[in-house]
A and B are shown apart, each in its own frame.
Chain A
Amino acid sequence: MKEKISTLLDNELDLKSSSQTVTEISKDSRLRERFETYQLIRDSIKNELSDVNLSSKSILDAIDKEPIQLQFKRPSKLQSAIALPTPSWMSWPVAASFIAVLFVGAMITTNPLHMKPTNAIEIAEDIPNEYIEAHQMLAPTNVAFYVETQTK
């Protein structure tokens, strides 16, 4: 589904697939959140937000108001918004990278579990970084953003 969302944002889905994808987004709150995040990234990177009306957020507004078939059956303002010309720096593969998800968590976890069938580890000696990182991803704190998850 992630691939579909990213392809939808890049206006590369055919009419039928677009309708199906938007239907699925409209039914699932998590997909909707993901769509919003992707469009935030895409819009911010492409700097399309100077005209909010031309943002793909409008798709979500349309989902709220009407059944989805309306958006992709005519060459609307929305569709043209999604099909904005690709800037030169798009050699940086925005949509492709949405699909190619890698896990930084594994990169920045400095204490992989040691697979020894012995007893306990004192956490003061072996900081459980994976738990701290998981906490920071879901808990909105200043520390999480400003200090403790600096790229390592």
Chain B
Amino acid sequence: MSRFMSKHKLSNFSMQRLVIGLITFVLSFYAQGAEDPWLHLEKASQAARKLSYKGIFLYQNFQDVRSIEITHLNNGEEEFARMVTLDGQPREALSRGNNMVLFSSNKENVIIQERQGQNLFPAILPPDIEAVKAIYTLRFADQERIGGREAQIVYLEPKDQFRYLYKLWLDKEFGLILKMSILDDQQKMIEQASFNQIALFSGQDLNWFKPNVDTHKKYIMDEVPVNKISHEKYCTITNLPAGYKEVSHVTRAMGTQRQIVHHWVFSDGISFVSLFVNPILKDQKSRLGETRVGSSHVHARVMNGNQIMVVGAVPKATIQKISNSIQDMKAH
């Protein structure tokens, strides 16, 4: 009996250990799930779009510094945002969903321009961060106060040489990106934006959603050129840098050029690069070489009588690789 009891007790003990082990495993599984660092980034992506907030941030790149006032409202159905540059010439953007309109003023005119997309700070992350996971690693660092709020610092470290390093300060409570630094492989600052003040608000009042422009000035609509459809197969694009995908392709007139220009935009989810291809007419000069304009690299070359131009705020290696991705170019 005692043998049986001791055996039985042993069995109970084993069972208890098994149950405890299982509970520990399940708890640790859930704990790991809760601590998945990418959830913080997903929260940051959602926060910029779903919260209603108002604040002022400082934006700077190599050559310029601007103070920007942003008001963002999500009424549950739509996003509305107004961004006003507080320095220099009056300039502001109003966006509703994916439609953005830019109002710029000079002495005589108000210039109205259409813009694409919604990837402006603090909404720099794509809604779906799965693409980001494939090309960046995420590392957590210290905590800091930004704009009067506690922030967790995270690094988005590129897995290759085709993108910059992102250092992000995420609001500990709401996840909103309070500050970002984009750094090159030498840790030199490419761009930076940081809230000086930020506050959430409730309510759906849209009285603020109007441009502050002088209505006595003449205004000028500067529209995105109409896409001129070309059915000819102009070239093949292969072997893009990892993670980059085509997000748009238009054929358009551009600037003073008489010929149609093919314009592709590629993105890895965070950065955007334009590739232009157009025939060089007999009375035109071709363009060659590389240069840098602000944060953007520009690369120009000629292939089979075609001008190839690549522009983007990405490392030089990315620009070069995209320029070299063209195959089967039609000769002119």
Contacts and interface: CB of A to CB of B under 8 A. Distances in A.
Interface string A92-135: 10000110111111100100111111111111101111111111
Contacts of B3: none
Contact of A143 (B61, B101, B261): B61
How many chain B residues sit at the interface, stated as a range, is 35 or more
Contacts of A100: 221
B285 A36 contact: no
Nearest to A41: B101
Interface stretch (A16-24, A62-70, A144-152): A144-152
Contacts of B309: 128, 131
B192 to A, nearest CB: 10
B215 interface: yes
A114 B276 CA distance: 19
B179 interface: no
B162 interface: no
Contact of A118 (B252, B285, B298): B285
Contact of B222 (A103, A118, A127): A103
B220 A147 contact: no
Nearest to B94: A44
Contacts of A84: none
Contact of B68 (A103, A113, A131, A146): A146
A39 B301 CA distance: 41
Contact of B276 (A92, A101, A134, A142): A134
Contact of B101 (A44, A50, A130): A44
A83 interface: no
Interface in B103-150: 104-106, 111-121, 124
B296 A148 contact: yes
A135 B250 CA distance: 12
Best-surrounded residue of B224, B248, B250 (most CB of chain A within 10 A): B224
A128 B297 CA distance: 11
Query: Which of A98, A100, A146 has the most B CB atoms < 10 Å from its CB?
Result: A146
A133 to B, nearest CB: 7
Given A143-B296, A146-B59, A138 B263 contact: yes
A88 B164 CA distance: 50
A120 B288 contact: yes
Most buried by B among A33, A50, A131: A131
B227 A30 contact: yes
Interface of A: 30, 33, 36-37, 40-41, 44-45, 47, 49-50, 52, 89, 91-92, 97-98, 100-106, 109, 112-124, 126-135, 137-151
**Considering the complex of A and B, which 9 residue pairs feature the smallest CB-CB distances, nearest first?**
A140-B117, A130-B255, A139-B272, A104-B222, A135-B274, A151-B104, A124-B291, A140-B119, A135-B311
20 contacts: A40-B99, A44-B94, A44-B96, A45-B210, A100-B221, A102-B222, A104-B220, A105-B222, A113-B257, A114-B285, A118-B285, A120-B287, A134-B261, A135-B296, A137-B115, A137-B116, A143-B295, A147-B59, A147-B61, A151-B105
Given A106-B256, A128-B287, 15 more contacts: A45-B213, A47-B209, A97-B112, A116-B285, A120-B287, A121-B287, A131-B276, A132-B311, A137-B114, A139-B273, A140-B115, A142-B193, A145-B120, A147-B66, A148-B296
